[in-house]
């Protein structure tokens, strides 16, 4: 199916061929612009589009067999959603009078297209909440260690009335074990 056939397939449901052509153009343009900007476009039940960076590499020319350097590049990638995969594999049946891809659950969609400012606000909000969480963890850890140290000091003060403490000697170092496996192996053979 090409673009013209896709427009014809949805023309009846949208009220005309021109409206269908405009709808297809708008949807494709929105997907392309988002992927070029580096965003991921996910359509529930259908799949997701994303930009993938490929590093520079060496490839082989199939005609001559020589190595050719390929520059780094970015390519679009489409990954089919689970609902789409199930329909293609035949584990689910395609509905006759209903759409194949159901609408997303209520409340899961945002109010509109995400702008760069909104995305930046979300990113900074995530960073600040992450910073708050790490500082909270650090302060609770500090409080816990100071409490442990204080209780340890109290316990040692109660236990040790007025005795002299002597330093403990470090354990003596052991000589490395001798390797006797070679001797045993030669004794077994002979």
Does the pLDDT value for residue 117 go beyond 60?
Answer: no
The pLDDT score that the predictor gives to residue 99 is: 74
State whether 82 and 98 are in the same domain. Answer: yes
The pLDDT score that the predictor gives to residue 190 is: 54
Residue 160 lies in a domain: no
State whether 85 and 51 are in the same domain. Answer: yes
The model's pTM? 0.50
Higher pLDDT, 31 or 133: 31
80 SS3 class:
strand
Residue 119 lies in a domain: no
What is the rounded CA–CA span in Å between residue 114 and residue 123?
Answer: 12
For the chain, the farthest-separated pair of C-alpha atoms sits apart, in whole angstroms, at 99
Residue 190 lies in a domain: no
The pLDDT score that the predictor gives to residue 96 is: 81
Query: In this structure, what CATH number is given to the domain that contains residue 86?
Result: 4.10.520.10
The pLDDT score that the predictor gives to residue 179 is: 56
What is the rounded CA–CA span in Å between residue 61 and residue 32?
Answer: 31
Residue 24 lies in a domain: yes
pLDDT in tens, 81-115: 998 899 999 888 888 877 777 665 565 555 444 44
Contacts 24+ apart (CB under 8 A), 17-23: none
Q: Tally the domains of the chain.
A: 2
The parent domain of residue 71 ranges over 44-105
State whether 60 and 25 are in the same domain. Answer: no
The pLDDT score that the predictor gives to residue 130 is: 53
pLDDT in tens, 118-145: 555 555 555 555 555 555 555 555 555 5
State whether 48 and 15 are in the same domain. Answer: no
Residue 149 lies in a domain: no
State whether 54 and 96 are in the same domain. Answer: yes
Residue 176 lies in a domain: no
């Amino acid at each position: 199916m090409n673009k013209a056939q896709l427009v014809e397939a949805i023309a009846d449901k949208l009220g005309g061929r021109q409206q269908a052509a405009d709808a297809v153009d708008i949807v494709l343009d929105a997907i392309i612009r988002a992927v070029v900007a580096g965003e991921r476009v996910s359509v529930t039940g259908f799949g997701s589009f994303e930009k993938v960076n490929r590093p520079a590499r060496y490839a082989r020319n199939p005609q001559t067999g020589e190595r050719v350097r390929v520059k780094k590049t970015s390519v679009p990638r489409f990954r089919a959603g689970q609902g789409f995969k199930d329909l293609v594999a035949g584990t689910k049946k395609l509905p006759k009078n209903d759409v194949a891809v159901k609408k997303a659950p209520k409340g899961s969609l945002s109010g509109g297209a995400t702008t760069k400012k909104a995305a930046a606000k979300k990113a900074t909000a995530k960073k600040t909440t992450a910073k708050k969480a790490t500082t909270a963890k650090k302060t609770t850890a500090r409080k816990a260690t100071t409490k442990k140290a204080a209780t340890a000091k109290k316990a040692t003060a109660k236990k040790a009335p007025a005795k002299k403490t002597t330093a403990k000697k470090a354990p003596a170092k052991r000589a490395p074990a001798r390797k006797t496996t070679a001797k045993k192996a030669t004794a077994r053979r002979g």
